[in-house]
Amino acid sequence: MQRKLNNFLKRIGVFERFDSTTEQSFLDYKFKDSKGVVISVGIATVFLIAGLWIWDWALDPKHAPNVLPVRLIMCMILSFYPLVVFAGFRRSTLPWLLAIIVVSTEAVFLYLLTQLKDGVIYGGFSGFMFWFILSVFAGLSFTVTESLLLNIVIASMPNLLVYLGLGSQLNLALYNALIWPTCFIAVFGNLSLDMLYRRLFKYRQRIETLAKIDGLTGITNRSHFIETAPVLLDLCRRHEHPISVFMIDIDHFKQINDLYGHPEGDEVIRLVAEKLQTMLRNTDLLARYGGEEFAVILPETVPQNALTVAESIRRNIEETPVILGANRSIRITVSVGVAGYVSLPDEIGLEELLKQADLHLYEAKQRGRNRVVAAKKQGLIQGISTCPCN
């Protein structure tokens, strides 16, 4: 039933559509972001219920002291919800738990009103409206469908209780005339807050993407690369697995910009990035490191194999012309510096590994460009390896 109602609300455009994975991420985000508010409102509701004993006294000073323990029972029931939210219960269990808590509290509240003179007549209508304050803010943790069902339960429960014989003095016609408009206002509040959170979630996703992705090429940018790469290094070091790194630079890129223009230069960078993406594994970390420079981390790759991959990339780029508009193409080349370890020493971090690869890239430039140069150090590739242009 809940799934059908959820699909119906989406079809009529009540809220924006997310795919199932994004929807779950959104709900987790909304739950974490609103957790403090939900706990605070829950605690405030407990104090509100306790403080409304003054209302009992105003209605019936004679019997008000007798219902004070009942008020305390209501407070104890309600305090359970902020406690379980604070304790980190799963989000999926909270709507059911809150429904049970609210229904139980409504039953106790209706019993309390029967113990006061004219309590059901004068205290019932406005008293039941307070529950919708809780539903709106607690609903921040729920889906729209869950919030809608919770509000319906809150509004309907007194009708059922009266039918079962509790609080028969309650004028249901007047109660329903007052409570259902309040229920619709609460539902509107839930919908409005959900729509607001969905927009905030989309903005947050966009900001996170812009913070991680290079705008020109669509691959990882330098800052996210520097943040992510140490994790790969630590994994390889911990398990004593090999790791390698490339530094790749487009040769004579300034001349390309000068001869063809910056838009064409940008297109060259984009096409090189696409070529690298197609030739690398999903487990490799590729990033645009500078203007025309790229960095690649290859986990689980011995340096000798990394050299082979680098040479394959170099040759493929050299042999593939770059199309720049109608009837116009150019050929480009790249230089590559390779560094890596069969077993990464503790003293070698990302900065040192990139420095080694950058030194080999510089050497490739000095040797005439369009080549791959790798290290000649213990633990790296044995013997210096250069792959010159053909």
Residues 6+ apart with CB under 8 A from 124: 110, 113, 158, 167, 170, 175
State how far the Cα of 332 lies from the Cα of 334, in Å rounded to an integer: 7
User: 251: domain CATH number?
Assistant: 3.30.70.270
Q: List, in order, residues 6 or more apart from 56 with CB less than 8 Å away.
A: 63, 64, 67, 68, 71, 112, 116, 119, 123
Residues 171 and 247 in one domain: no
The burial of 238, by beta-carbon neighbours within 10 Å (0-12 exposed, 13-18 middle, 19 or more buried), is given as exposed
pLDDT at 371: 93
Range with lowest mean pLDDT among 153-167, 226-240, 328-342, 354-368 = 153-167
**Residue 142, CA distances (Å) to 63, 195, 280 in order:** 39, 13, 42
Q: How many domains in the chain?
A: 2
Residues 6+ positions from 365 with CB-CB distance below 8 Å: 249, 251, 335
Q: Is residue 163 part of a domain?
A: yes
CA pair distance 42, 105, nearest whole angstrom:
13
Of the residues 156, 181, 212, which one is the last residue of a structural domain? 212
DSSP codes of every residue in 209-220: HHHHB-TTTSSB
On the question of pLDDT at 298 being above 90, the answer is: yes
- Looking at the structure, tell me whether residues 171 and 149 fall in a common domain: yes
Tell me which of 212, 247, 266 is where a domain ends: 212
What pLDDT was estimated at residue 278? 92
CA distances from 74 to 78, 83, 138 (A): 6, 15, 17
| Mean pLDDT value across residues 362-370 | 92
Question: Within this chain, do residues 229 and 271 fall inside the same structural domain, yes or no?
Answer: yes
Do 258 and 198 share a structural domain?
no
**Is 99 within a domain?**
yes
Instruction: Inform me whether the pLDDT recorded for 335 exceeds 70.
Output: yes
Give mean pLDDT, residues 73-96: 89
Residue ending a domain, choose from 177, 192, 212: 212
Per-residue model confidence (pLDDT) at position 364: 93
Place of tokens 């994790």: 231
Predicted pLDDT at 377? 54
Show the domain range for 307: 222-387
Hey, how many other C-beta atoms are within 10 angstroms of the C-beta on 13?
Answer: 8
Give per-residue pLDDT as tens, 14-61: 556 677 788 888 888 888 888 888 899 889 888 988 888 888 888 889
Q: What is the pTM of this model?
A: 0.64
Do residue 172 and residue 78 come from a single domain? yes
The answer to whether residues 85 and 120 belong to one domain is yes
Torsion from C-alpha of 269, 271, 275, 281, nearest 10 degrees: 70
State residue 332's pLDDT score. 92
Is residue 288 over pLDDT 90? yes
Mean pLDDT of the residues in the chain? 85
Return the minimum-mean-pLDDT range out of 184-188, 282-286, 320-324.
Answer: 320-324
Does a structural domain hold residue 116?
yes
What pLDDT was estimated at residue 112? 87
Query: Closest Cα partner for 285 from 317, 316, 243, 318?
Result: 243
pLDDT band, residue 272 (cuts 50/70/90): very high
Whether residue 352 lies inside any domain: the answer is: yes
Asked whether residue 254 falls in the same domain as residue 190, the answer is no
In this structure, are 248 and 148 located in the same domain? no
Assess if residue 192 is contained within a domain.
yes
* 3 state SS of 244: strand
Asked whether residue 199 falls in the same domain as residue 230, the answer is: no
Residue 217 forms part of a structural domain: no
Terminal C-alpha separation, the chain:
68
236 and 203 in a common domain: no
In terms of domains, do 54 and 72 share one? Answer: yes
* Residue 144 and residue 197 in one domain: yes
Q: Does some domain include residue 102?
A: yes
pLDDT digits (tens, 9 = 90+) for 132-144: 877 777 777 788 8
Residue 12 is predicted with a pLDDT of 46
Section 336-358 average pLDDT: 91
Q: Is residue 304 part of a domain?
A: yes
> pLDDT tens digit string along 115-134?
888 777 765 667 777 778 77
